[in-house]
Chains A and B, each alone.
Chain A
Amino acid sequence: EAGVAQSPRYKIIEKRQSVAFWCNPISGHATLYWYQQILGQGPKLLIQFQNNGVVDDSQLPKDRFSAERLKGVDSTLKIQPAKLEDSAVYLCASKAGSYNEQFFGPGTRLTVL
């Protein structure tokens, strides 16, 4: 079974630039999450999708962050414009059912200069 795929693995941008991250979840997983992880800390949930609908985006900074999952499979997370404090690892995860474990991708390490 293929795991959760993410790209790019690393990205370096200047502040005020835009950036996009892509995630392909495990086939058949209806629930998809985007997390932000600051070095050495636990993941912070940004947004949760169920199929192509948003379940929870209460912690997504909507003035600069956006995310979509148009066909209920792949998802993209965008930051525009980026700030220095957005430097973090962005993790995508998916799961099959309510009580199932989440499977994580390798993450995208973003550095904002």
Chain B
Amino acid sequence: AQSVAQPEDQVNVAEGNPLTVKCTYSVSGNPYLFWYVQYPNRGLQFLLKYITGDNLVKGSYGFEAEFNKSQTSFHLKKPSALVSDSALYFCAVLVGSNYQLIWGAGTKLIIKP
């Protein structure tokens, strides 16, 4: 079965430190991967995607993600965390002939001053 896993319910990072939010996937065929962020009482906002090409993808707000085919991972990273990065982060993979997203359960990122 095709799936996305976000193994951490919550990640705590001190402001200024690097952050990583983990995502692993299981799909048949080539993976098309996405990261979204959700701030409180807001809709989901697109951060970045991997379709093909370079394994390191750069996105909005200084975030980047590294696609690793051998480890079937697509971890979200940022070199220096900001308090304003505190939010809920979702990883998703595109599947099927209808091009639908399968969503991870989400990871709450808390950046402490």
List B contacts of A4 (CB < 8 A): 43
Interface residues of B in 57-113 (CB under 8 A from A): 88, 90, 92, 94, 98-101, 103-106, 108
Assess whether B11 is interfacial by the CB under 8 Å rule. no
List A contacts of B101 (CB < 8 A): 45, 102
Assess whether B45 is interfacial by the CB under 8 Å rule. yes
Given contacts A42-B90, A42-B104, A42-B105, contact A102 B98 (CB under 8 A): no
Q: Is the interface of B mostly helix, strand, loop or mixed?
A: strand
Which of these binds chain B: A62-70, A73-81, A103-111? A103-111
The total of chain B residues at the interface (CB under 8 A) is 24
Interface residues of A in 41-62 (CB under 8 A from B): 41-43, 45, 48, 55-56
8 further contact pairs, Cβ within 8 A, besides A48-B98, A56-B98: A42-B90, A43-B90, A45-B100, A55-B98, A91-B44, A99-B99, A102-B101, A105-B43
List B contacts of A55 (CB < 8 A): 98
Task: Say whether A104 contacts B88, CB under 8 Å.
Answer: no
Given contacts A43-B103, A45-B100, contact A99 B94 (CB under 8 A): yes
Interface residues of A in 83-103 (CB under 8 A from B): 91, 93, 98-99, 101-103
CB < 8 Å: which of A41, A48, A91, A105 contacts B105? A41
Task: Say whether A98 contacts B99, CB under 8 Å.
Answer: yes
Interface residues of A in 21-51 (CB under 8 A from B): 31, 40-43, 45, 48
